[in-house]
Amino acid sequence: MKTPLAGAIAIALALVPSIPAAGQAGPDPRALEEKVRALEARQAESEKALEKLKAALAAPPSAASAEELKRRLEALEEEQAATRAGLAELRAASSQKAPGPVEPTGLVPKSLPLFGSSGPVSSGTSFNPSITVIPDVVWSRDDVKGEAGEILEEADGFHGAHAEEGHDHGHGGLSQGFNLRETEIAFSASVDAYFDVQALFAVSEEGIEAEEVFFQTRRLPWGLQLKGGKLLSGIGYANAHHPHQWDFADQNLAYELLLGGHGLNEKGLQLTWVPKLPFYLKVGAELLQGENEKLASYVGPEEFPGLGEEGAPRVLSEKGGPRLFTGFVKVGPDLGYSNALQVGFSLVSSRRHQEVHDEDADGVPEEVLDGTATLWGVDAVYKYDSPRTGGAGDLVLQAEYLARKRNLDVLGTVDTAVFRQDGAYFQAVYGLLPRLQLGARWDVGGLTNERVRGGTKGAYDSSSRFTAALTFNPTEFSRIRAQYESASIRVDGEKETWGRFLLQLQLSLGAHGAHAF
């Protein structure tokens, strides 16, 4: 024979599993109502029984009967507690909305526990993506009639590294006066408990371009994360930063000359590993399509006229993607609350790099080159977080060094050409006052700048630039920057100098997540 307590537990166990797990369709409202009424009737009967027992205890019973009454009273009180708990859960379930869009807080599936656990999805608007619009307006004036960007493209040792399709102007080509540079439009949202998606488009007067469109996983085990689509590579430090995250209005010379103004931005897959250690360690590898103009230019299996009247046609080789492979390591020791340091090492290998040099545009290129390329680099960033408000007293020191080597066959000849170039930048940003920063940068391209062809070695001089910037951030969503730069660029062995003043306004409309270190 079941005791009242056993009956209450049986009822609770029978009813509670019928409440749906988060993310599943809601229960039948009619069935819930019936179960609620049954429990309410059970509760009413228990209350009557309790009243009778309390009245019986008030009379002077024998010792034995008193003990029995107390035992029955405790059992009925436990039954009441179990019944109330069951009612509370049933009423909560009956108040759920009809089946519809899944709420973000319930996106950890109970029926498919794949890898470990994960918090609720970060989207707070039921899968409506966060949208950000960042316009970038720049007023420019230089002393070379607006040709500063063109001079930089012709820097000795670097101007030949482009495909037949044209140059990569990056973010350096500015007209005298007002310029509306690329406006970034970003969308980000959580798809479910397993994937996030981000899409960033650069809109200019020439059109719209997908700068980054990628997914990344949320629940892989052992500190792993997979990222795929079109993305900024994780090599170096500055490469993964968009223009609105830069400390200066333009890209540093090392990136501009060795990787292009947009950096290494490719389609492919990235896998990173962050193990649980007493210090920060991140290891990453990437398989990329290989389309970077400065490092992995791919023209394809095209045929060009031979050299001279009897020369055989020059045919570029075919190589399907992925053609570009990268690896990187980032280490950050624990320096306490106010100090942070990160050191990184990167390696890039391109299975195919092709160049077509047709300077006079007559359809017969002077040189057609086909081969491979490699790049390696080291970067270091130190940050001090001052206790003063508004960023006053904060200090950021940042430096990178990149070295590139291209091994190319000169088609139509027996010659090979080996190019070695490097570049570096050093910069410091200090918080003068709350929301007011002073930045200084020195960057250089071509400390090593040589070409070996047919056993003959040739060398070029380096190009350098100094930049100073004063940046005022009225809020976290607006930025006003005044910048002056003085450059010395080598073109055809001659030194071309110019000075340029920039006045920049950036605004951030909409939600925008925190930036990485």
Residues 434-460 have pLDDT tens digits of 999 999 999 999 999 999 998 899 999
| Residue bearing the bigger pLDDT, 70 or 483 | 483
- Torsion, Cα 359 361 362 365, to 10 degrees, reads 50
Exposure of 160 in the CB half-sphere (CA atoms within 13 A): 25
The confidence score (pLDDT) of residue 8 equals: 47
90-94, 188-192, 457-461, 479-483: least confidently modelled range: 90-94
The confidence score (pLDDT) of residue 60 equals: 56
pLDDT higher than threshold 80 for residue 39: no
Confidence of residue 73 (pLDDT cuts 50, 70, 90): confident
pLDDT higher than threshold 50 for residue 23: no
pLDDT tens-place string over residues 381-436: 999 999 999 999 999 999 999 999 999 999 999 999 999 999 999 999 999 999 99
Residues 453-482 have a mean pLDDT of 95
The confidence score (pLDDT) of residue 90 equals: 65
The confidence score (pLDDT) of residue 81 equals: 74
pLDDT higher than threshold 60 for residue 2: no
Q: Give the domain 130-307+315-510 fold.
A: Porin (2.40.160)
Full-model pTM: 0.75
Q: Which are the contacts of 104, defined by CB distance < 8 A and separation ≥ 6?
A: 120, 121, 122, 123, 124, 126, 127, 190
Confidence of residue 120 (pLDDT cuts 50, 70, 90): very low
Which DSSP symbol is given to 282?
Answer: E
The percent of residues above 90 in pLDDT, for the chain, comes to 62
- Mean of per-residue pLDDT scores for the chain: 84
Please state, as a whole number, how many other Cβ atoms lie within 10 Å of the Cβ of residue 142: 19
The confidence score (pLDDT) of residue 517 equals: 75
Confidence of residue 61 (pLDDT cuts 50, 70, 90): low
Confidence of residue 83 (pLDDT cuts 50, 70, 90): confident
**Of 225, 224, 229, nearest in space to 212 by CA:** 229
The confidence score (pLDDT) of residue 282 equals: 98
pLDDT tens-place string over residues 183-227: 999 999 999 899 999 999 999 988 999 999 999 999 899 999 999
**Of 486, 483, 487, nearest in space to 504 by CA:** 483
The confidence score (pLDDT) of residue 309 equals: 77
Residues 270-279 have a mean pLDDT of 96
The confidence score (pLDDT) of residue 58 equals: 62
Which DSSP symbol is given to 283?
Answer: E
pLDDT higher than threshold 70 for residue 10: no
pLDDT tens-place string over residues 222-260: 999 999 999 999 999 999 999 999 999 999 999 999 999
What residue segments make up the domains of the chain, in order of their start?
4-100, 130-307+315-510
pLDDT tens-place string over residues 496-513: 999 999 999 999 998 766
Confidence of residue 19 (pLDDT cuts 50, 70, 90): very low
The tokens describing 56, both together, are 């019986």
The confidence score (pLDDT) of residue 221 equals: 94
Phi and psi dihedrals of 33, rounded to 5? -60, -40
Measured distance CA(407)–CA(393) in Å, rounded: 47
Confidence of residue 55 (pLDDT cuts 50, 70, 90): low
Q: Which are the contacts of 45, defined by CB distance < 8 A and separation ≥ 6?
A: none
pLDDT higher than threshold 90 for residue 52: no
Return the axis-axis angle of helices 4-15 and 29-58, rounded to nearest 10°. 160
pLDDT higher than threshold 70 for residue 473: yes
Confidence of residue 93 (pLDDT cuts 50, 70, 90): low
Measured distance CA(245)–CA(314) in Å, rounded: 44
| Residue bearing the bigger pLDDT, 88 or 402 | 402
Highest mean pLDDT among 26-30, 39-43, 480-484: 480-484
The confidence score (pLDDT) of residue 31 equals: 63
The confidence score (pLDDT) of residue 5 equals: 44
